[in-house]
Structure 1
């Protein structure tokens, strides 16, 4: 049976890669599960080509990202996907007015056990050819939410910096990990801490269209 796919999406410079790496390190060393990290295809493509892709090249990049994640799932219990085809589709829509990749991007997310959406609370940092500027983050974030919401797909917002961001992601992943583990939980270690954290979480209630965590993300959002 293929492993669980955990999608990590979000606007540029919101810590997707750092979060994926931190989760991979924490989970692979403490859970006993076979964890894999699927790096971003677009970054490798831009570094190799020395430019950003043209409209007609977007589909192949999205397909390669999906193929990478699914190939890793054949041998791993858990795959942390550092971005997904949906992000390629969103950028194709915003940059080139091309919505043709959205259906495939959303179909990939239907196969994911969980989608983590990185919040806009980190400072924008330049990083090579891929990043356009802080001004594009809000439109990209809105487009991702709109696409997922329109498809009836949920997500968990990951906010905070450093350990708080990692803890927020672990809070979202915990129920999946506890269900995945067949043997009894150990008395110590990460799984016991995850179980304790899960038990301590307040009862979840929907607050607004943009929130899906008990601590409302609008508390940090400068657009409010």
Structure 2
């Protein structure tokens, strides 16, 4: 099973793009568990909350993998990953629990799509850092480079992001894109 994770700072279109990609490729996707976990709770979160969110995200991925297998698809999309939890934990609490770091080393994604912050910020009660997105984007870039991850940076307006993502996913699947589909 090829797992494709979408990662990056808040309000970069991860949920929308992961859902569109899953629809386009006729497969399953794992939604961002943090949103379901935090919705309806008082503002703020603790380190144990982040650990619960990490466990929930891993479970959502496994459920998506099982759904993709039932569909006979070789591919699944993950709306966020443990890197998001690591960056949240380090920013908010100064460190990330060791078990999350170990699990990150074990978690294998065939491709990671890092979404740029060049979309307008969309306010949301669960979002926290509208003015720090560039800072967080640089953290994601550094982490993915340090991990030697197979990642592609996705930018531009939504339609262009979708085209870029499809280009990279098709490449992963060994498909030859048509000349008019080449990502720019």
> TM-score, length-normalised on structure 1?
0.72
User: Does the residue aligned with 1:135 lie in a helix, a strand or coil?
Assistant: coil
Cα distance, 1:197 vs structure 2: 4.2
Alignment correspondent of 1:139 = 135
Cα distance, 1:26 vs structure 2: 1.8
User: Does the residue aligned with 1:44 lie in a helix, a strand or coil?
Assistant: helix
CA distance in 2: counterparts of 1:142 and 1:152, whole angstroms: 15
> 1:1-224 alignment to 2 at 5 Å?
3-28=1-26, 35-76=27-68, 77=73, 78-100=75-97, 101-108=100-107, 111-128=108-125, 130-178=126-174, 195-197=177-179, 201=182
Structure 1 residues 197 and 24: CA distance shift in structure 2, 3 A: farther
Structure 1 residues 89 and 23: CA distance shift in structure 2, 3 A: same
Deviations 1:158-202 (A, max 9, x none): 1111211100100110122346xxxxxxxxxxxxxx63149x75x
CA distance in 2: counterparts of 1:133 and 1:151, whole angstroms: 25
> TM-score, length-normalised on structure 2?
0.86
User: Does the residue aligned with 1:19 lie in a helix, a strand or coil?
Assistant: helix
CA contact (8 A) 2:110 2:150 kept: no
Alignment correspondent of 1:32 = none
Unmatched runs of 5 consecutive residues or more in structure 2: none
Cα distance, 1:135 vs structure 2: 1.5
CA distance in 2: counterparts of 1:125 and 1:115, whole angstroms: 23
CA distance in 1: counterparts of 2:55 and 2:179, whole angstroms: 37
Deviations 1:1-37 (A, max 9, x none): xx22110001001111111122122221xxxxxx001
CA distance in 2: counterparts of 1:106 and 1:43, whole angstroms: 24
CA contact (8 A) 1:4 1:73 kept: no
Instruction: Give structure 1 regions of 4+ aligned residues with deviation exceeding 3 angstroms.
Output: none
CA distance in 1: counterparts of 2:151 and 2:171, whole angstroms: 14
CA distance in 2: counterparts of 1:174 and 1:27, whole angstroms: 10
RMSD: 2.1
Deviations 1:104-160 (A, max 9, x none): 23432xx111100001110111112x2113222122212212222222213101111
Alignment correspondent of 1:221 = none
